A and B are shown apart, each in its own frame.
Chain A
Amino acid sequence: MNMLKVPLQIFRYKPGQTPGYDTFTVEIPATAHVIDAIDAVWTSHDHSLAFRRACHHSSCGSCAIRINGLEKLPCVTRVTDVWDGRSQVRLDPLRNFPIVSDLVVDRADFFRRMSAADMAMICEAEAFLPFTVDTFAVADLEPKLVELPENFSRFTRFEKCIECGICMSACPTMAADEKFLGPAGLAAIHQARKKTLDPVKVEHLLGLADGEHGVWRCHSAFECTEACPQAVDPAGKIMALRRELIARRFLKMLGK
């Protein structure tokens, strides 16, 4: 196996200490991803390194950080894609989140923003299917609403978005305005609005987006769409919400 000796420059912070960078050189396979390099630092060099990781395949969104200044998911970013063979690979936590320690950021307010859209946990398609059936194998199965057990709310989630927070880090308005709902929050509102037919809920969702710190605070930098690892296109969703809000305002003016 081809092994590489990769120098990493990692942001370090522990409460009560001055923030700074530590350098580590790790020996990892040439096919390794950046998260493997971080693992190697923790395993062989410094057990005090704080970082998040879980699924290792861009489904959970836990590991999001900045690699050489750009927001990425290190679990699907190969070391060879970000290392020129000589310079240090710089790892920083996400921007626009309070830093807990090293590469770990506080996501509480981020999850509050996602909760504002009031979307839930499983794919809507799954709620229409009997639990135990592999429906893709049963071609003539009619999708029908399944009776769910009591106290089991029907949950539908924002299917593409893995809530990694990368768009929030890339967004210059998030850097400026703490009250901004952010690309993820607004894209979630757009998705929830698309998925509901309840007019009261639609009004509420559009109302959330219509404020000074909603869709109108976006400055069209499009960094969110550029950085998103899941092709959610939050910028496009923000613009779609704007169009709907203006159309409604226009129709209201005409008395409809």
Chain B
Amino acid sequence: MENPFAEEPKPTSAWLWQVLTGVGLVILLGLHFIANHFVAKGGLRDFEEVVAYLRNPVILCLEVLFLLCVTVHALLGVRAIFLDFGLSEPAERRLDQVLKAVGFLTVGYGLAVTWMVIR
């Protein structure tokens, strides 16, 4: 009988990306937090302030990067939890497809809202 544990599996970079986006988030979330709750008067921005904030190109880049990082990190984390459910191979592949779709939708939604606000 073949030893299933002796067969080389597909390599994966998921954990590495989890760590990289995590470290990125410590920085980006820190900046996001400072910009929105320390720099902003009274700790919260009203409508006009939000628009002005997002129209700043540096801020816009950082916020988009933040959105990407947080979506990747969050969905990789959710994926890790699901992988502990003892899924079959096809189920694992379907999980990856679903989460990828959710990821694209999330980032797409965030970019769309941002675009419509700063227009």
Contact = CB atoms under 8 A, between A and B. Distances in A.
Interface of A: 109, 112-113, 115-116, 118, 173, 176-179, 181, 185, 204, 207-208, 210-214, 216-217, 219, 242, 245-246, 249
A213 B16 CA distance: 15
* Majority DSSP secondary structure for residues of A touching B: helix
Contacts of A216: 12, 14-15
A124 B80 CA distance: 38
A208 B13 contact: no
Interface size, B (range): 10 to 19
Contact of A211 (B10, B16, B84, B86): B10
Contact of A113 (B5, B8, B15, B85): B5
Given A173-B84, A177-B83, A116 B11 contact: no
Nearest to B92: A212
A211 B5 contact: no
A208 B14 contact: no
Interface of B: 3-6, 8-16, 80, 83-86, 92
Contacts of B9: 207-208, 210-214
Nearest to B8: A207
Given A176-B85, A176-B86, A208-B8, A112 B3 contact: yes
Contacts of A217: 83
Nearest to A110: B5
B8 A177 contact: no
Contact of B14 (A212, A245, A246): A212
B2 to A, nearest CB: 10
